[in-house]
Structure 1
Amino acid sequence: MFRPGVGRPLLGRDVSALTDAYADLSEIALMHGLAEEIRNLMRADPRSTDAHRAAQDVVEGRLASLGHPDDGAALAGRVVSMVEDPLIASVADLCEALGLPERKLQRLCSGFLGVSPRWLIRQRRLQEAGAELRNGGSLADLSARLGYTDQSHFSRDFRAATGWTPGLYARMVRGVPGEAR
């Protein structure tokens, strides 16, 4: 797993160029030949801790050539950390906490993370929702606590992200008889 912000220097362009897209490692200059090099290291014994360590060293060696994160990459990492705060319920909250104008935050997230600040906040809220739904409780209370203006908006976001309504998800994870698992 890469730290937030490493994608742009690694790719040599905005990460948003890969959002909802695919790029082979061989298309990324720094990663060219990496898969084959790791396969060769792992070929003899894929379970060997020495082979895993050697593969990790190869990846880290290549990434070390990128140098230290620049200010933008460091700020992108800070954005991701701040989004974890449940008090950050909107892009405006995040802008205020970081002291950044909204457009600058949007460009930063697009360039270094490949997603919008709104997407980051929504994903964190939906992860919280999944955890809460495992424990029961009112959907209306949960949606309000997560900063949604109404339960139907929360339900739409949840279904778009998971394919299930919050109620069905809650029944499935609690193992209610008669529900698909």
Structure 2
Amino acid sequence: MFYLRQARHPQEVLQHPGVNVVFQPGNSYICGIESRKSVNILQDQGQIVGVLFRPGAFHCYVQAPVSTLTDQVVNISDYFNLDINTFEEQLFALKNKEEKIVIVEQLLQQSMPEHDKTVDLLNEVIDKIVYNADITKVEHLVDQFGISKRTLQRWFNQYIGVSPKWVIRRYRMHEAIELIERGADMTQLAMDLGYFDQAHFSKDFKAAIGKSPKQYAKNND
């Protein structure tokens, strides 16, 4: 991911379940999954090179459950053997985007272990969540994949950094945002997303987005 930061403005992000590695001059970092909506202030001009790992893929660089990175920002040098100042100089001295990609890929491949099939399986589980709006409970995944709830919870904590319930709710919130912007009925929307009533849906929506569904709809009129 490459972009220029120009006019100062807030960028609100409802993050997907992947770890980010971000390179920018003088301020490179690793960002774990943010459990709530994040707000980044973009200003001035500059260049950022970012890598969003697919769910579970950063596990190979962590000697502990990926959940230890959730809601955390840490130094890149804690996980990669490099002098970050020298690497930033080399990276941003390159003018060509493809060359930047190559040098970052070389860094990431230094510590890459053997292929882990559990990561592939967990991505199948997450794809099922993403593309099937009917999945609103962890029990639905248990039925679909024949994996116990306890095992799913353990794998998600170890590899992804958040619970399967969190991932389900996060993607249902992505859908809710889109439907609210289209003018969906709030009560029906709550039922479609697996909630017993609108109050519980509103509580979860506000926890994730920072405002109630009605407030969000009003601000997007």
Scaled by the length of structure 1, what TM-score is found? 0.85
Describe the SS at the equivalent of 2:73: coil
2:83 to 14, 26, 33: 33
Q: Deviations over 1:139-179 (max 9, x none)?
A: 000111111111000000011111111011011112xxxxx
Tell me which structure has the larger Cα radius of gyration: 1
Distance 2:148 2:101 in 1: 39
Distance 1:147 1:73 in 2: 27
Residue 2 (1) aligns with residue 49 (2): no
Structure number with the higher helix fraction is: 1
What does 1:6-155 align with in structure 2 at a 5 Å threshold? 6-29=57-80, 32-33=82-83, 36-43=86-93, 48=95, 50=96, 52-65=97-110, 66-84=112-130, 85-155=132-202
Distance 2:123 2:63 in 1: 18
Contact 1:8/1:15 (CA < 8 Å) preserved in 2?
yes
Distance 2:64 2:102 in 1: 25
Distance 1:81 1:123 in 2: 13
State the AA in 2 paired with 1:6: A
Q: Which moved more, 1:61-70 or 1:155-164?
A: 61-70
Q: Unaligned 5+ residue runs, structure 2?
A: 1-51
Q: Unaligned 5+ residue runs, structure 1?
A: 175-181
Structure 1 position 34, deviation (Å)? 5.0
Distance 2:203 2:135 in 1: 20
Count, aligned residues = 168
1:157 to 204, 212, 218: 204
Q: Deviations over 1:50-73 (max 9, x none)?
A: 1x2222112212333414531221
Contact 2:91/2:103 (CA < 8 Å) preserved in 1?
no
Q: CA RMSD in A?
A: 1.7
Contact 1:38/1:55 (CA < 8 Å) preserved in 2?
no
With over 3 angstroms needed to count, the CA separation of the structure-2 counterparts of 1:140 and 1:35, relative to structure 1, is: farther
After superposing on structure 2, the runs of 4+ consecutive aligned residues of structure 1 that deviate more than 6 Å are: none
Structure number with the higher strand fraction is: 2
Q: Deviations over 1:1-31 (max 9, x none)?
A: 112221110223220111122321010035x
Q: Deviations over 1:87-125 (max 9, x none)?
A: 211000011112100010001101111000000000011
With over 3 angstroms needed to count, the CA separation of the structure-2 counterparts of 1:159 and 1:64, relative to structure 1, is: same
